[in-house]
Amino acid sequence: MDSAIGDVQEVTAGECTDCYFVDTGMYETSGYGGVYIVDDDNPAVVETGLGTNHDLILEALEELEIAREDLAAIVVTHIHLDHAGGAGFLAEACPNADVYVPAPGTSLLADPSKLVAGTKAAVGDQWQYYVDPRPIDEDRIVSVEDGDVIDLGTHELRAHHAPGHAFHQLVYEDPANDAVFAGDAAGIWAPGPETITETSPPSDFDLEECLADVEMLQELDPDVLLYTHFGARDVGDDAEAALEEYATVLTEWVAEVESKREELGDDEAVIEHFAASSEMAGTWGEEKASAEAVMNARGVLGYLDANE
């Protein structure tokens, strides 16, 4: 998916209809993070970005001729701020939209102070690209659990619990489009080099749960995976193989971090090693690629500690 920051692109993968994608320029990087808009009887924004560029989402709604007061749903897959940081800003701008949040995360978006503190600890220097999220009135928040359905009209979003990346993560199946809004459950897709990479941030990452999430997605067997990072991927009849590739990438990544820890015997040295050796610099730039590697390595080291 070729895009420039702020572009509104129709999702044409598979047989998708009524679905649009906006590159929000997350971390001041194109091709890393975006949001989806479903233009239906009850229009929805799925994912909300960091909050820093929420104006781009509002401009996209205007371009699609969706009035702010007509937006019905603001939906996040989980409450990590690269997915939910803009929810409060959008809720303020779109007064009739309900904010659909995985049940374990509702209180943390109503009062995001603890979420901010945890995010700062997890992302380190990357916090410079964030903005403090706006609290959301509790009466605007709809708590979503596994099996719940958000009715948009022609489309519906069916929630499936996917706790491996984060205990508060859901993915949303859109049967009408044979697509899944995958959050971070299917990894990070770099469409330029057509590369799938790991995402294993602290402090909730759990390899076994991630692999179970992959199996759940394989059972859903979508034609299209809609990645927050980054864009629509037409997997057609090969969903099982595409997802199995991510399971392999993730398993090998955890083994690599574990091996490097055994070799170096010092966690900071392990983190420095992976920060200097990321293969994604050509895609996201050296700064973002290095920061991503640091965060992912820390998540794996925490997982290994918890499973000693």
Q: What is the pLDDT of residue 3?
A: 67
Distance of CA 189 to the CA centre of its chain: 11
Q: What is the pLDDT of residue 2?
A: 63
Q: What is the pLDDT of residue 237?
A: 87
Question: Domain of 28?
Answer: 8-253
Q: What is the pLDDT of residue 192?
A: 86
Give the mean pLDDT per block of 10 residues along the chain (308 residues). 84 96 94 96 97 96 98 97 96 98 94 92 89 95 98 98 95 98 97 93 94 98 97 94 97 98 96 92 90 94 94
Whether residue 273 is contained in a domain is answered as no
Our count of domains for the chain comes to 1
Whether residue 18 is contained in a domain is answered as yes
Whether residue 166 is contained in a domain is answered as yes
Helix (H) or strand (E) holding 283: helix 281-284
Whether 50 and 96 have beta carbons less than 8 Å apart is answered as no
Whether 190 and 31 have beta carbons less than 8 Å apart is answered as yes
Whether residue 62 is contained in a domain is answered as yes
Beta-carbon contacts of 45 under 8 Å, excluding residues fewer than 6 positions away, are 35, 36, 37, 57, 61, 71, 73, 74, 75, 90, 97
- Compute the C-alpha angle 6/12/16, nearest 5°: 115
Joined tokens for residue 281: 């610099």
Whether residue 76 is contained in a domain is answered as yes
The torsion angles phi and psi of 229, rounded to 5 degrees, stand at -120, 90
CATH number of residue 215's parent domain: 3.60.15.10
Q: What is the pLDDT of residue 279?
A: 87
Separation between Cα atoms, residue 21 and residue 266, nearest integer Å:
42
Q: How many CB atoms lie within 10 A of CB 146?
A: 13
Q: How many CB atoms lie within 10 A of CB 60?
A: 21
Beta-carbon contacts of 85 under 8 Å, excluding residues fewer than 6 positions away, are 48, 49, 50, 51, 52, 130, 131, 133
Whether residue 177 is contained in a domain is answered as yes
Q: What is the pLDDT of residue 165?
A: 95
